[in-house]
Structure 1
Amino acid sequence: MSNTSFKPTLTLLDATMIVAGSMIGSGIFIVSADIVRNVGSSGWLMMVWFLTGFMTIIAAVSYGELSAMFPKAGGQYVYLKESYNPLVGFLYGWSFFAVIQTGTIAAVGVAFSKFTAYLIPQVSEDLVLFSIGSFKISPAQVLSIVTIILLTYINTRGVKNGKIIQTTFTITKLVSLFGLIVIGLFAVKSDVWHANWSNAWKLQPMKADGSVGDYMAAAGFGAIAASMVGSIFSSVAWENVTFIAGEIKNPKRNIGLSLFLGTFIVTIVYVAANIMYTAVLPLHEIAGAEKDRVAVAASNAIFGGTHAAGALNTGTLVMAVMIMISTFGCNNGLILSGARVYYTMAKDGLFFKKTGELNKNAVPQFGLWIQCVVASLLCLSGKYGDLLDMVSFVVVIFYVLTILGIFILRKTRPDAERPYKAFGYPVLPALYIIMGLTFCSLLIIYKPNFTWPGLIIVLIGIPIYYIALANKKTDEI
């Protein structure tokens, strides 16, 4: 027998941990290498993270108004449907299912496996477990699928199990990250710090070997936009808490508050982590970190020393464990919240009917499992990296549309109840829209490989929507 409604069991702390835990995966430990190769200076490295954090917090506090107006499962899908029309909402839900959520789950799962391989070399991505022609499967891919299946199963047992994992792992990784940052700042190398900050605002490309070049004309703006692909991807998924509105106590208050608290905490952590990187690593070592693992290089610089021959470096061991905790907790939050979007779409007759049913534990079990299947296939495909290149572009497009929806709803539904109003309206939401559109436009110009595939995936949703609509009408006859 299935339940007919969600159970509101999540507190403000739980909701805040879902926001922060879903945001902090593996990005902060890796993407600063690519950012430095694009901008070539400490000042611009910090500016990229600051701009991303500023945009994220503006978006989050703006979503607070929408979450208070529509405190029910589905979150951003519902906001877009109510602001525009069902098609726009569906295009978001389709993109979410096809690449945004499932692709992110796959990438975070593989990141977990990559760092587990430091402790258990047998699960390395460099090994081949078996192959069929040119199709090869690594132990890392298999382990990532096993973790996704495990977390999916745990979350089918009820939201209480998922929230325990989420809160525990998020608090653990926040405390360990703050600890690493503090220890790193105490271990600051004055000569490194001075060298990194002596010419902090020269925007230039930097190669992994530390050699630099010059940008012609406006190409520097394209470099900043390209840099922000990584930082924005590291800062997405905060909106996941809006998907589970039906399971949060006092959602009209707690969703908006958790959005602000979660994004603010993560922004502080991200900026502080990058200050720490520049305090212990020369800029060229950030740019040239092995496999872009900046945090591992920083941890080695802080802790130094090695164990017996063949044993792990102390810093590498510390970071491997931290990133395993971070990615495991991150994927739990993504898996827990994602299925609620498919549930709401199914209730609108626009997704598999069975996805709109809750099991005896009051969770959308079928939605959790189909999300698991797609994410697992993306792990096997080996193409999750390519898919994620377009996530930042597609996500920001939908963020812009959603925040623009605040202006639309203020005009079309002026008398609607608004327990909370967007902070700084209309200036801050408008500023986000301008910054978001600028980011997307620069990517279209300078990084088209990040944009057109993403747009194609979104547009494929249009015929699928009309097919779903026709099936819905057939069912109603």
Structure 2
Amino acid sequence: MQKKLKLWDATMLVMGSMIGSGIFIVSSDMMRNLGSGYWLIAVWIITGIMTVAAAISYGELSSMFPKAGGQYTYITEIFGKMPGFLYGWGLFTVIQTGTIAAVAMAFGKFTAYLIPWLNDSHPIFQNGGFKITWVQILAIVVIIFLTFVNTKGLKNGKILQDVFTSSKILALLGIIIFGFLLIKDSQWAQNMSFGWSGFQNFGREVGNDLLPTDWKPISGVTLLGGIAAALVGSIFSSVAWENVTFMSGEIENPKKNVVKSMVFGTVIVMLLYLLVNFVYLNALDRDGIAFADKNRPAVAASEVIFGSLGTMIMAILVMISTFGCINGLVLAGARVYQSMAKDGLFFKSAIENNEHNVPGKSLWMQGIWASVLALSGQYGDLLDMISFVIVLFYMITVFGVIYLRIKKPNLERPYKTWLYPITPIIYLIIGTAFCVLLIWFKPQYTWPGFILILLGLPVYFFINRKKAN
């Protein structure tokens, strides 16, 4: 692997992979579960603490195993091939490819704001509940295009990532600044007047819209359930920062630059996320956030800030954001499947680099499967099921830091986790609480993800049986 990525490029990959469509959407559902500006901010702060604590902990592993494959490599080195394979299996079947499909669909849907014909046209094909639309076709075209660009060399993907990530960070800063300067009637005091009292309001379906009913006070264990449900959105909006570890083999001085990029990137993004939610609370009242049209509080806030141009401004921003996010996901994910193939746990053809010194076949396998998920329309359901598993894999990896400190204290550690063992323990405590509450209150988000990952077990044994023969 050629060392073509500098610290700036790695940091742009972290930030670009994190900032997709989630921050523009998930706060609506979070507000419906929490009903208070205080709790909305508190959940984003909890998510920020979790994310940065995990990034700091991963840094120790990235300095110990500075090679391509990242999280897959860490899990394999610490716990063995089977857990590593199950992570890679989940990454290829849903986590990475499903996220690529979902973000590409978000790109298509926000493009339809600028080109209404995309929304208004009849489906290309429809059979019962299954249909193929022009928005899906646009999403697939973007996936294929960015896959093609990344097969032509790391330099192309790097340039795209740097340009689009820089653009969306500047645009977000603009929204944040104008979100306070241009608001005449601030809703901040009203949103914060509920204090630490929790409320829930799941509304009622009318056509494609969700309209409010009555807000119901919640406390005790019900409030904890609301917090867990809200965390699903904020956590999913804050993942994918670990993508930079997949690229370790192509980063200059990976023992230092991978951890720096993860810490810098996650801290900056979580601060931006917090400030964007401040804008929502300043521009919109509680119902305005919770029941924004099509669950898009960013669009509703932008209309208040910029008037009739707001929808177009936000649509362009989300298109830039999602395009850059897809590129980062495409760029990084293929390196994991290549590492798995080298270990005999993926298609052999994924091992090869093409004439541009990138894993071309691995990129195309990822791009084709992500396109299938976009075409099927099932990516959203799959991602709901897998969010719980993503946190579990984070927890396994963070626990690996503690496990290695105990089992192999003499291993070289060019970087040691800041405030060890407090930092990894903080993540493990919050992650465990999240998982337990989710199992208790939202089991539909948990057991299907388990089953999906466990389906990888017979595949693993089949692969190893073939090798044994």
Regarding TM over 0.5, the answer is: yes
Return the offset for 1:216.
Answer: 5.8
Name the aligned partner's letter for residue 238 of structure 1: W
Alpha-carbon spacing, 1:67–1:364, altered in 2? closer, same or farther (3 Å): same
Return the offset for 1:194.
Answer: 1.5
The aligned residue for residue 206 of structure 2 is none
The aligned residue for residue 31 of structure 1 is 26
Pairing 1:350–2:353 present: no
In 2: Cα distance, 1:408 partner to 1:126 partner: 56
The aligned residue for residue 310 of structure 1 is none
Name the aligned partner's letter for residue 263 of structure 2: F
Is the CA contact 2:183–2:304 (under 8 Å) kept in the aligned structure 1?
no
Q: Secondary structure at the match of 1:136?
A: strand
The aligned residue for residue 287 of structure 2 is 284
In 2: Cα distance, 1:125 partner to 1:418 partner: 57
Counterpart among 231, 234, 254 of residue 228 in structure 1:
231
The aligned residue for residue 430 of structure 2 is 435
Alpha-carbon spacing, 1:150–1:191, altered in 2? closer, same or farther (3 Å): closer
Alpha-carbon spacing, 1:133–1:195, altered in 2? closer, same or farther (3 Å): closer
* Structure 2 counterparts to residues 13-412 of structure 1, below 5 A: 13-124=8-119, 127-132=122-127, 134-206=129-201, 207=203, 208-209=211-212, 211-215=214-218, 217-304=220-307, 313-412=308-407
Is the CA contact 2:56–2:423 (under 8 Å) kept in the aligned structure 1?
no
Q: Secondary structure at the match of 2:446?
A: helix
Shifted more, 292-301 versus 378-387: the winner is 378-387
In 1: Cα distance, 2:412 partner to 2:122 partner: 57
Is the CA contact 1:145–1:376 (under 8 Å) kept in the aligned structure 2?
yes
Is the CA contact 1:240–1:337 (under 8 Å) kept in the aligned structure 2?
yes
The aligned residue for residue 3 of structure 1 is none
Name the aligned partner's letter for residue 323 of structure 2: F
Is the CA contact 2:198–2:219 (under 8 Å) kept in the aligned structure 1?
no
Q: Secondary structure at the match of 2:257?
A: helix
The C-alpha deviation readout for 1:288-346, integer Å capped at 9, x for no partner, is 10110100000000011xxxxxxxx3000000000000000000000000011100000
Name the aligned partner's letter for residue 243 of structure 1: F
In 2: Cα distance, 1:360 partner to 1:12 partner: 25
Runs of 4+ with deviation above 6 angstroms: none
The C-alpha deviation readout for 1:404-436, integer Å capped at 9, x for no partner, is 001111122211110101111101101111110
The root-mean-square deviation of aligned C-alpha atoms, in Å, is 1.3
Q: How many residues align?
A: 461
| TM-score, normalised by the number of residues in structure 1 | 0.95
Name the aligned partner's letter for residue 29 of structure 1: F
Is the CA contact 1:350–1:472 (under 8 Å) kept in the aligned structure 2?
no
Is the CA contact 2:197–2:217 (under 8 Å) kept in the aligned structure 1?
no
In 2: Cα distance, 1:271 partner to 1:134 partner: 38
Is the CA contact 1:34–1:227 (under 8 Å) kept in the aligned structure 2?
yes
Shifted more, 237-246 versus 430-439: the winner is 430-439
The C-alpha deviation readout for 1:17-67, integer Å capped at 9, x for no partner, is 000000000000000000000000000000111100110000001100000
Return the offset for 1:187.
Answer: 2.4
| TM-score, normalised by the number of residues in structure 2 | 0.96
In 2: Cα distance, 1:468 partner to 1:380 partner: 29
Alpha-carbon spacing, 1:271–1:216, altered in 2? closer, same or farther (3 Å): closer
Shifted more, 196-205 versus 224-233: the winner is 196-205
Work out the percentage of aligned pairs sharing the same amino acid: 54
Is the CA contact 1:125–1:141 (under 8 Å) kept in the aligned structure 2?
no
Return the offset for 1:267.
Answer: 0.4
